[in-house]
Amino acid sequence: MILNAKSLREQVYDYIREELSRGKLTPGMAINLNGISQELGISKTPLRDALLQLDTEGFVTISPRRGVFVNRLTVEEIRSCYEIIGALETAALLSVFDNIQPFHLEKMKWLNAALRVALKREDYQAYYQQNLLFHDVFLELSHNASLKRIIMPMKRRLYDFPRRGYIKEWELGNCRDHDRLIDALGKGDRDAAGNVWQNVHWSFDFQEKYIRRFYFPESPGGRETKAARAAAGNPKQKRQRSVDRK
């Protein structure tokens, strides 16, 4: 591992998250601590520290005497993330509403145009990064560090792991939400801005048909299977499935 300004724990954390997003570590799989430790040439201390952070953020479950297992993303967790992110981002947006200047709106317009270009090119990595930057235009105006610390891990949980293909019509709808937000901000319409952000953009009920297609494409109608729900809360079953694949 190449040393950089980040701590060893942070580097290990980034490495494991990348393995998750690339699908090398999949839901239900037991994480081979010895293998990762040997591959990176590190002791288990920074590895355990990184896994504790991932456990806190919901990516893994540390089960005493059983091991560390990659968590499945459930419908209930997705709904909770949407509700919390929607409430917090909307609160941040409204708290900085009067500080949003014309140049912020121009940046948002530019980023939203870049999102559409990325979709046309099917460059989903660029789309993902530009989308985060769009949200950051107003989030960075907020001085509420605690709010940001809560939002970012949830976004990672939704979008970084595992990184799937995109549903183009959903993402185009996302761009239209951005258009509506920019329009409301430009008109100084606080209520309209808050409504589109919390009750449309981050509304689980409004986005549900796409959420189910995106996160549960293998299930009829995008329904989470009973087996997946059971495995999400049963580390022993996760371990058995991991053993069965070997």
**Domain spans in the chain, listed from the N-terminal domain onward:** 8-72+226-245, 75-221
Written out in words, the top-level CATH class of the domain with range 8-72+226-245 is mainly alpha
Rg of the Cα atoms in the chain: 20
Assign a CATH topology to domain 75-221: Four Helix Bundle (Hemerythrin (Met), subunit A) (1.20.120)
> Quick one: pLDDT at residue 166?
82
- For residue 227, the model assigns a pLDDT of 47
For residue 168, CA distances in Å to 12, 17, 121 come to: 33, 25, 11
Whole-number Å distance between alpha carbons of 224 and 174 = 23
List the beta strands (DSSP E) in 54-174: 60-63, 67-70
- The pLDDT value recorded for residue 180 is 99
Q: Would you give the DSSP letter of residue 30?
A: B
From first to last of its 246 residues, what are the pLDDT tens digits of the chain? 444 557 888 888 989 888 888 888 888 899 999 999 998 888 889 999 999 999 999 999 999 888 999 998 899 999 999 999 999 999 999 999 999 999 999 999 999 999 999 999 999 889 999 999 999 999 999 999 999 899 999 998 898 765 567 899 999 999 999 999 999 999 999 999 999 999 999 999 999 999 999 988 876 555 555 545 554 555 444 444 333 333
pTM: 0.81
Residue 122 burial (10 A CB sphere; 0-12, 13-18, 19+): exposed
